[in-house]
């Protein structure tokens, strides 16, 4: 079986992308319901192999079974709920302006809806072997949009990826989908990724991973003769601003919640709170002490793969060695091989502001508390942060009134703004925004979680002056699919008489 996981050759990639292109012209014409049924069929096939897939993922990622079961079910939920959203059709943004023949000049009949972009290349994520990999969120969104998918399996969990790919292929057969609707490619280096992204049949890219990986894809995609969109979710440090009133009110119980959020799944979440900002004083000191005490008792866990464990060790050491950085607390349990040791550090705001290295993500069970002299310095930290997936505000109503400028500044740097909670835990629902200003993602106008993510892989097409019988079902007078449409500026499910 090893031979299967050798890097795909350029010839193999050409073949896969050609089949994908052919499948596109078949699949994009399928009714929404058929797309949704196909996605349900994938969920069913995966469910039938649940134990096998979860066990494969356990052995390849070191993630514990409950965490993987949870993620597995989330993946099925994504396939089913994005399929339902696909069929409901709100995402199509159907707009109709009917003709006004007696106007001078006459107004033609124009009807617009979203249509699929073409084959989408998806790069599996190391930290989500199911939910953001082979049949994960990007794949589900692309299928819903009407696009074929070619997945590059993450080299750290190729067996899991193969297993999921087999489930997709079974569903493809049973649902009588065109053969090329799904392709699965292995590749351990950057060459495979580059060939996939620069292939002329590739029309969009989905990626979840590191900044360097995502940025490379983005650059290749933009340097093509025909540039294509890249949706790269590249993680962030997810700053948490603790305001004085809130600290006073609940420093101790908050410390418990944060110790857990920082070290959950060995800190291997892109919404891990890597930066905590507070104003110096006895309350902040109490909080740091309490958080440090919690961190001490967290037992180290094995990280996703040796490469990530090594990176964590290097980045953690580099951060702790910076001028002004104090190690507050580490786990009392010695880490075994490839385990990440839970760590809390602290630094002054001026040390942070003067050192770009401290603004970078340390992917793993690590967080640093930034001590500001006052409100002004806290605002300075806020305005010097880069784009983030999430920002969290820990504050009382009074705190918020007293820090209005800070609150406004924070809205401007993130995709999700949490009040009095933890950033980990990304709900799969329509209101979710998982995406934020660069460098959190390459396109802050879209989300990679929730059914709005379907729109990443579609573009509007307007039909002008087409008779009813030649229009797509979505735009016909009678509204046979019963979708929401904006007709002459009015949102309605009514048909046109």
Pick the closer one to its own copies by CB: 281 or 421.
421
Minimal distance in Å, beta carbon 328 to its own copies?
27
Hey, what are 182's tokens? 């799904």
495 scored as a contact of its own copies (CB under 8 A)? no
Q: By CB under 8 A, is residue 371 in contact with its own copies? A: no
Least separation in angstroms between residue 6's CB and its own copies is 33
Q: Is 417 in the site for its own copies (CB under 8 A)?
A: yes
- Give min distance, CB of 266 to its own copies, in A: 19
Pull the structure tokens for residue 350: 């001026």
Give residues 420-449 in contact with its own copies (rule: CB under 8 A).
420-421, 425, 427, 429-433, 435, 437-439, 442-447
Q: Shortest approach of its own copies to residue 155 CB, angstroms?
A: 27
Our finding on whether 246 is near its own copies (CB under 8 A) is no
CA distance 133 to 152: 9
- Which residues share a beta bridge with 484? none
Q: Judged by CB under 8 A, which stretch of 122-130, 161-169, 220-228, 308-316 contacts its own copies? A: 220-228
Alpha carbon distance 490, 345 (integer Å): 55
d(Cα 135, Cα 76) in Å, to the nearest integer? 9
28-47: which residues touch its own copies (CB under 8 A)?
29
95 touching its own copies, by CB under 8 A: yes
- Rounded to 5 degrees, φ, ψ at 81 are -75, -35
Residue 131 · residue 78 · CB < 8 Å: yes
Taking CB under 8 A as the rule, does residue 115 contact its own copies?
yes
Q: Is 385 in the site for its own copies (CB under 8 A)?
A: no
Q: Minimum distance from CB of 315 to its own copies (Å)? A: 21
Active-site residue 233, yes or no?
yes
State yes or no: is 270 an active-site residue: yes
How far apart are alpha carbons 107 and 91 in whole angstroms? 26
Give yes or no for a contact between 300 and 341, defined as CB atoms under 8 angstroms apart: yes
Is residue 461 at the binding interface for its own copies, with CB under 8 A as the rule?
yes
Integer Cα distance of 446 and 449 in angstroms: 9
Please tell me the distance from the alpha carbon of residue 132 to that of residue 146, in angstroms, as a whole number: 19
Per CB under 8 A, which region of 4-12, 167-175, 219-227, 305-313 contacts its own copies?
219-227
- Chain Cα centroid distance, residue 332: 33
Q: How far is the CB of 374 from its own copies (least distance, A)?
A: 21
Catalytic residue among 233, 361, 377, 474: 233
Q: Which CB atom, from 334 or from 397, has the smaller least distance to its own copies?
A: 397
CB of 276 to its own copies, least distance (A): 18
DSSP string of 199-236, one letter each residue: -TT--EEEEES-HHHHHHHHHHHHHSSS---EEEE---
Regarding 102 and contact with its own copies (CB under 8 A), the answer is no
Interface residue with its own copies among 48, 299, 357, 462 (CB under 8 A) is 462
Residue 463 in the binding site for its own copies (CB under 8 A): yes
Among 4, 33, 107, 297, binds its own copies (CB under 8 A): 107
Q: Compute the C-alpha angle 217/223/226, nearest 5°.
A: 105
> Which residues lie below 8 Å from residue 201, measured CB to CB, with a gap of 6+?
17, 18, 20, 21, 118, 119
Q: Are 148 and 44 in contact (CB under 8 A)?
A: no
Tokens of 219: 């650059």
Residue 61 CB neighbours (<10 A): 27
Is 384 among the residues that bind its own copies (CB under 8 A)?
no
The residues in 53-92 that bind its own copies, with binding defined as CB under 8 A, are: 88, 90
Q: Could you write out the DSSP letters of every residue in 34-59?
A: HHHHHHHHHHHHHHHTHHHHHHHHHH
- Residue nearer to its own copies on the CB measure, 314 or 492: 492
- Taking a C-beta distance cutoff of 8 angstroms, is the pair 120, 454 a contact? no
Binding residues for its own copies restricted to 184-203, rule: CB under 8 A: none
Indicate the residue among 55 and 215 with the shorter CB distance to its own copies. Answer: 215
154 binds its own copies per the rule CB under 8 A: no
C-beta of 252: minimal distance to its own copies in Å? 20
Question: Can residue 256 be called a binding residue for its own copies (CB under 8 A)?
Answer: no
Contact between 459 and its own copies (CB under 8 A)? yes
Q: Taking CB under 8 A as the rule, does residue 400 contact its own copies?
A: yes
- Tell me the C-alpha distance between 82 and 85, whole Å: 5
Q: Give the Cα separation of 285 and 278 in Å (integer).
A: 10
In the structure encoding, which two tokens stand for residue 488, read together? Answer: 């002459």
Binding residues for its own copies, rule CB under 8 A, total: 73
Catalytic positions, written as ranges: 233, 270
């Amino acid at each position: 079986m090893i031979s299967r996981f050798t890097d795909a050759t350029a010839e193999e990639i050409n073949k896969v992308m050609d089949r994908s292109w052919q499948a596109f012209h078949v699949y994009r014409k399928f009714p929404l319901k058929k797309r949704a049924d196909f996605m349900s069929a994938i969920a069913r096939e995966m469910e039938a192999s649940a134990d096998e897939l979860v066990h494969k993922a356990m052995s390849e990622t070191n993630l514990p079974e409950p965490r993987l079961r949870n993620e597995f079910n989330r993946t099925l939920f994504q396939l089913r709920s994005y399929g339902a959203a696909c069929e409901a059709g709100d995402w199509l943004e159907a707009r109709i302006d009917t003709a006004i023949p007696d106007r001078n000049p006459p107004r033609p009949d124009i009807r617009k809806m979203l249509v699929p972009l073409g084959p989408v290349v998806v790069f599996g994520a190391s930290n989500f072997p199911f939910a953001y990999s082979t049949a994960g969120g990007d794949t589900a969104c692309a299928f819903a949009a009407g696009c074929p998918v070619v997945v590059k399996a993450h080299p750290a969990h190729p067996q899991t990826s193969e297993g999921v790919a087999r489930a997709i292929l079974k569903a493809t057969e049973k649902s009588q989908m065109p053969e090329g609707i799904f392709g699965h490619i292995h590749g351990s280096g950057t060459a495979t990724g580059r060939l996939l992204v620069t292939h002329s049949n590739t029309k969009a890219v989905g990626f979840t991973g590191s900044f360097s990986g995502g940025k490379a894809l983005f650059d290749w995609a933009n340097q093509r003769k025909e540039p294509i969109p890249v949706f790269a979710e590249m993680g962030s440090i997810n700053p948490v601003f603790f305001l004085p009133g809130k600290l006073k009110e609940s420093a101790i119980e908050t410390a418990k919640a944060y110790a857990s959020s920082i070290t959950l799944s060995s800190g291997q979440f892109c919404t891990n709170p890597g930066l905590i900002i507070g104003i110096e004083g006895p309350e902040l000191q109490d909080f740091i002490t309490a958080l440090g005490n919690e961190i001490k008792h967290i037992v180290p866990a094995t990280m996703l793969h040796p490469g990530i464990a090594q990176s964590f060790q290097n980045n953690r050491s580099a951060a702790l060695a910076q001028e002004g950085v104090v190690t507050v607390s580490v786990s009392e349990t010695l880490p075994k091989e490839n385990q990440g040791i839970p760590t809390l550090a602290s630094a002054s705001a001026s040390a942070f502001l003067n050192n770009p290295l401290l603004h970078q993500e340390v992917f793993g069970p690590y967080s640093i508390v930034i001590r500001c002299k006052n409100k002004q310095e806290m605002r300075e930290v806020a305005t010097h942060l880069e784009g983030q997936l999430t920002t969290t505000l820990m504050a009382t109503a009074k705190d918020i009134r007293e820090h209005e400028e800070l609150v406004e500044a924070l809205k401007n740097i993130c995709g999700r703004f949490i009040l009095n909670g933890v950033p980990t835990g990304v709900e799969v629902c329509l209101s979710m925004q998982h995406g934020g200003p660069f460098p959190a993602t390459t396109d802050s106008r879209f989300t990679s979680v929730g059914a709005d993510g379907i729109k990443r892989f579609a573009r509007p097409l307007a039909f002008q002056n087409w008779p009813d019988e030649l229009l797509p079902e979505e735009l016909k007078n009678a509204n046979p699919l019963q979708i929401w449409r904006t007709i002459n500026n009015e949102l309605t499910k009514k048909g046109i008489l």
